[in-house]
Amino acid sequence: MDTINLKKNDPNYPSALQQYLGKDAPDTITAIGNLDILSHNSTAFFCSAKCPGDLIVKTYDIAQILRDAGMTTISGFHSPMERECLTILLRGTQPVIICPARSINNMRINKEYKKPLKDGQLLFLSPFDENQQRISAKRSHYRNLFVAAMSLSSVIFLAHAGPGSKTESFCKEILPWQKPIYTFESDYNKNLIKMGARPVNMENISEWAKLFAAYNK
């Protein structure tokens, strides 16, 4: 599939990027896939590379809720849990946005992505130009800010971020945006809840399904 370049003056360029990132908003973003997905509300999904076993099953449950609610989900899908959840999400028909921490120019499309791309379910987005082909810590951090900023009407779900981790620092950075940030109610996430993330009690899972569905309207 061909890549599409969206400049700031393009009507498809998400206005939320300039609202939340300001002068750091990318001048151009590159896309592969169905641009109509950009008009959807979305849930930004994040999880640290290391996730406690107690939260793994719950994270699978959240991915299934997002899928079954038809909720558009956006993420870098880079950490092990994020990749596991991508597999679950792509079993549905709801939109998914993947944002690699590198350029997607001349990117090789993996076999498992070809059908959802053809069906209009999948969109790849990148704020990096063709000279930025390698993943780095700096690009990963900017990519996460890009993902969190993408939609004016979005929920941010942070499955886990260990104390002192880069993901925790990222959470502190986006809290002033006043977007709703959710995490699991767990001793492992006390640091996030103390910062202001809203705890999810998985015993009331049906209510969270309604919440995510509401954000998709």
- Would you say residue 208 has pLDDT above 80? no
DSSP string, 8-43: TTSTTS-HHHHHHHGGGS-SEEEEEE-GGGGGS-EE
pLDDT, the chain, mean: 89
CB of 186 closer than 8 Å to CB of 62: no
The structure tokens listed for 209 are 């399904």
In sign, the C-alpha dihedral spanning 111, 112, 118, 124 is negative
CA nearest neighbour of 144 among 73, 46, 51, 49: 46
Ranked by mean pLDDT, the top range of 147-156, 190-199, 202-211 is: 190-199
Distance CA 166, CA 83 (A): 18
Residue 49 CA to residue 166 CA, distance in Å, equals 10
Per-residue pLDDT tens for 43-55? 999 999 889 988 9
Per-residue model confidence (pLDDT) at position 33:
96
What pLDDT, in 10s, does the model give residues 96-127? Answer: 999 999 999 988 899 999 999 999 999 999 99
Three-state secondary structure call for residue 2: coil
pLDDT digits (tens, 9 = 90+) for 56-90: 988 998 899 889 888 899 999 999 999 999 999 99
Mean pLDDT, range 175-180, rounded to an integer: 91
70: alpha, beta or left? (left if phi > 0; alpha if psi -120 to 50)? left
Residue 214 is predicted with a pLDDT of 63
**For position 212, what pLDDT does the model report?**
61
Radius of gyration of the chain (CA): 16
Q: Is the pTM of this model over 0.85?
A: yes
Please give the Cα distance from 138 to 164 (Å, whole number): 17
Question: Which residue has 């900017």 as its token pair?
Answer: 142
The domain 4-215: what is its CATH number?
3.40.50.450
Tokens of 15: 């206005």
- pLDDT over 90, % of the chain: 68
Length in residues, the chain:
217
Residue 170, CA distances (Å) to 111, 128, 153 in order:
32, 19, 19
Q: Using DSSP, how many helices (H) and how many strands (E) does the chain show? A: 8, 9
* CA 136 from centroid of its chain's CA atoms: 18
Domain boundaries, the chain: 4-215
Token pair belonging to 44: 């930004």
